[in-house]
């Protein structure tokens, strides 16, 4: 049996990280866990981008004492991912601030409960009776 090359192992890791994050993002119910899943998916994407510049047996793109040690890996994906990581943490903080706001307005961070309370609020604003409105036929709603 021959082992797969190193790049295939790394690409598998990156893709499965992305898939795990994406699955958590579509299936999760807790808003904080959605933020965590977003961070995991982002990590996978960053690894995928840096891997696109990887060459086996190459050196880091930094010159020591001014001499070129040999073939070097591609510096451009590394520079782009550098900024992407910092942007990612800013986005994460913004999402958590929104979660804090949602928790204060609705008292929950569960998507299911949140959606039910949102519907109740909308129906109350539209002047419908609160009990029956969610199961009533659509034709009875005001246009």
Partner 1 sequence: MRNFTSLLFAGGLGFFLLVLAADLPVGAAPMVAGEGILGQGPEAVGAANLVTAVVLAYRGIDTLGELSILFAAAAGVGLILSGMRRRADQRPDPEGGFILLAAADLLFPLLVIVGLYIVLHGHLTPGGGFQGGVILAAAFFLPLLGRPGDSLNHAVVNWVEGLAGGAFVLIGLWALAVKGDFLAPMLGKGALGSLFSAGTLPLLYIAVGLKVGAEIAGLMSTLQETEAAEP
Partner 2 sequence: MYWITVLVVAIMILSALAVLLLPNLLAAVAASSVVSLALSVVFVIIRAPDVAMTEAAVGAGLSGVILVLALRRLGLWGLGDDNHPRPGDSLQGSGDDA
Partner 3 sequence: MTAVEIVATVLLCAAVLLGLGRLVVGPTNPDRFVSADMVSVVTTVALAGFAAVFESPLYLDVAMIYGVLSFVGMVALARVVEGNRS
Among the residue ranges 58-66, 87-95, 96-104, 114-122, the one whose residues contact partner 3 (CB under 8 A): 58-66
Give dist(CA 51, CA 64) in Å, integer.
23
Bridge partner list, 64: 67
Site for partner 2 in 32-91 (CB under 8 A): 32-33, 35-37, 39-40, 43, 46-47, 50-51, 54, 58-60, 62, 73, 78-79, 81-82, 85-86, 88-89
Q: Estimate to the nearest angstrom the gap between the alpha carbon of 72 and the chain centroid.
A: 31
User: Contact between 114 and partner 2 (CB under 8 A)?
Assistant: no
**Measured in whole angstroms, how far is the alpha carbon of residue 78 from the centre of its chain?**
20
Largest CA distance in the chain: 79
Beta-carbon contacts of residue 103 (< 8 Å; ≥ 6 apart):
109
- 60 binding partner 3? (CB under 8 A): yes
The token pair that represents 100 in the structure block: 């804090």
Q: Applying CB under 8 A, which residues contact partner 2? A: 3, 6, 9-10, 12-13, 16-17, 20-21, 23-24, 28-30, 32-33, 35-37, 39-40, 43, 46-47, 50-51, 54, 58-60, 62, 73, 78-79, 81-82, 85-86, 88-89, 92-93, 96-97, 99-100, 103, 108-110
């Amino acid at each position: 049996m021959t082992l797969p090359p190193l790049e295939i192992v790394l690409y598998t890791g990156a893709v499965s990280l992305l898939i795990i994050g994406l699955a958590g993002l579509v299936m999760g119910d807790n808003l904080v866990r959605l933020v965590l899943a977003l961070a995991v998916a982002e990590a996978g994407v960053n690894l995928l981008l840096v891997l696109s510049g990887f060459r086996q047996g190459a050196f880091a793109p930094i010159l020591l004492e001014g001499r070129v040690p040999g073939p070097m890996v591609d510096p451009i994906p590394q520079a782009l991912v550098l900024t992407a990581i910092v942007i990612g943490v800013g986005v994460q903080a913004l999402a958590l601030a929104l979660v804090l706001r949602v928790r204060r307005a609705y008292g929950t961070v569960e998507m299911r409960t949140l959606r039910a309370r949102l519907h109740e609020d909308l129906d109350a604003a539209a002047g419908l009776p609160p009990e029956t409105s969610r199961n009533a036929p659509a034709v009875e709603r005001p246009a």
